[in-house]
Structure 1
Amino acid sequence: MKWFDNISLALVIIGAVNWLLIGIFRFDLVAFLFGNLTWLSRIIYTLVGLCGLYAISFFGRIRNASDTQV
């Protein structure tokens, strides 16, 4: 599952950078690269969103890891 965590984290970071570009420059990198709401860009947005939801589980794992180290 470590590989899935790494891929999820990478996609969440890509999504965060995209939102940063939207917020500062009004530039949507995903729409620029893959088209404005094409099927491919919608898949990318969906994958980033699902990985963001999955990344919520990182908080529980971080807390559990810090409890076992004490």
Structure 2
Amino acid sequence: MEWLKKLAALLVLIGALNWGAIGLFEFNVVTEIFGSATTVTKVLYSLIGLSGVWLLLSKYKS
């Protein structure tokens, strides 16, 4: 399960950096790489969101 926690942390970090780029530079790295409203983009955003929820819940579970 440790690998899952590391993967979730990596995805949350990617999401945080992307939101920082959007806020500071109005530049969305994910949509620049994968396109806007593509299936890959939607899946990636969903995985990032689920990773954040999973990390939050696992923090209070332990």
TM-score (norm 1): 0.82
1:6-21 to 2 correspondences below 5 Å: 6-21=6-21
SS state at 2:36 partner: coil
Partner in structure 2 of residue 50 of structure 1: 50
- What aligned pairs does 1:27-42 form with structure 2 within 5 A after superposition? 27-42=27-42
- Encode CA deviations 1:16-62: one digit per residue, 9 max, x unaligned: 0000000000100000000001011111000000001101024326x
Cα distance in 1 for partners of 2:34, 2:21 equals 16
Larger Rg: 1
Give the distance between the partners of 1:4 and 1:59, measured in 2 at CA: 14
**Within 2, Cα distance between the matches of 1:57 and 1:2?**
15
State the structure with bigger RCO (CA 8 A, min sep 6), 1 or 2: 2
Distance in 2 (CA, whole Å) between partners of 1:9 and 1:58 is 12
Whole-angstrom CA distance in 2 between matches of 1:58 and 1:11: 15
Match of 1:44, as an amino acid?
Answer: L
